[in-house]
């Protein structure tokens, strides 16, 4: 990373909004075009870039760039655009399942449906109790299908941090499910 990148990173980490706006104005349009090449939807591309810059500013204090600033920006927007495509695919798949009535050959009994609802509520409640970053990392990995490396890049944290947060999340889920199994057995 060159000195100019280090200077810009330091200024932004220190909360220099003018430097951040300068960076935003310089890269917004090229990053939108980069995302549009992946998404083939300029509105979605702009959303992806705006969301990236929002998180970039929000997480500026913990930002640790290992690449040049230019490379980091393009790589992060590329990853976010690919993540958006995965999200759209999951949403489409879910909509098709709902429209098709899921698997109609497999009967669902009322008690099974109630148990699935209880389990879904338990998962939601457990995620709400987790520290915010821990919950977010778990959702990104398990619900959105992102790899640890991708999560680390998006959140500007190390892969080890992602691994540690996932370990915490899984430990919290084990305890929560252990308690659930005891209640269900009673």
Closest CA to 76 of 41, 47, 40, 48: 48
Give 25's pLDDT tier (boundaries 50, 70, 90).
Answer: very high
Kindly state the DSSP code that residue 98 receives in the 8-state scheme.
Answer: H
Q: Which tens digits make up the pLDDT trace of 124-181?
A: 888 889 999 998 898 888 877 788 888 888 888 899 999 999 999 989 888 887 766 6
Domains of the chain, start order: 1-105 (1.10.1740.10), 107-186 (1.10.10.10)
Give 50's pLDDT tier (boundaries 50, 70, 90).
Answer: very high
Q: What is the pTM of this model?
A: 0.54
How far, in Å, CA of 103 to CA of 149, rounded? 34
Angle, CA of 43, 70 and 49, to the nearest 5°: 15
DSSP H helical ranges for 130-158: 132-138, 148-155
User: What is the 3-state secondary structure of 43-69?
Assistant: HHHHHHHHHHHHHHHHCHHHCCCCCCH
The answer to whether 125 and 117 are in contact (CB under 8 A) is: no
35 class by beta-carbon count within 10 Å (0-12 exposed, 13-18 middle, 19+ buried) = buried
4 class by beta-carbon count within 10 Å (0-12 exposed, 13-18 middle, 19+ buried) = exposed
How far, in Å, CA of 150 to CA of 141, rounded? 9
């Amino acid at each position: 990373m060159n000195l100019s990148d280090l200077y810009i990173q330091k200024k932004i980490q220190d909360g220099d909004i003018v430097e951040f706006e300068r960076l935003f104005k310089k890269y917004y349009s090229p990053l939108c075009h980069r995302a549009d090449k992946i998404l083939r939807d300029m509105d979605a591309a702009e959303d992806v870039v705006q969301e990236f810059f929002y998180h970039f500013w929000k997480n500026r204090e913990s930002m640790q760039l290992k690449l040049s600033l230019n490379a980091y920006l393009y790589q992060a927007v590329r990853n976010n655009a690919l993540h958006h495509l995965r999200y759209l695919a999951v949403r489409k798949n879910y909509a098709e399942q709902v429209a098709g009535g899921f698997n109609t050959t497999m009967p669902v009994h009322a008690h099974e449906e109630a148990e699935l609802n209880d389990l879904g509520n338990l998962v939601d409640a457990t995620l709400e109790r987790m520290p915010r970053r821990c919950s977010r990392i778990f959702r990104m990995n398990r619900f959105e299908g992102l790899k640890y490396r991708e999560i680390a890049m998006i959140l500007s944290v190390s892969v080890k941090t992602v691994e540690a947060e996932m370990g915490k999340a899984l430990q919290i889920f084990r305890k929560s499910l252990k308690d659930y199994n005891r209640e269900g057995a009673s």
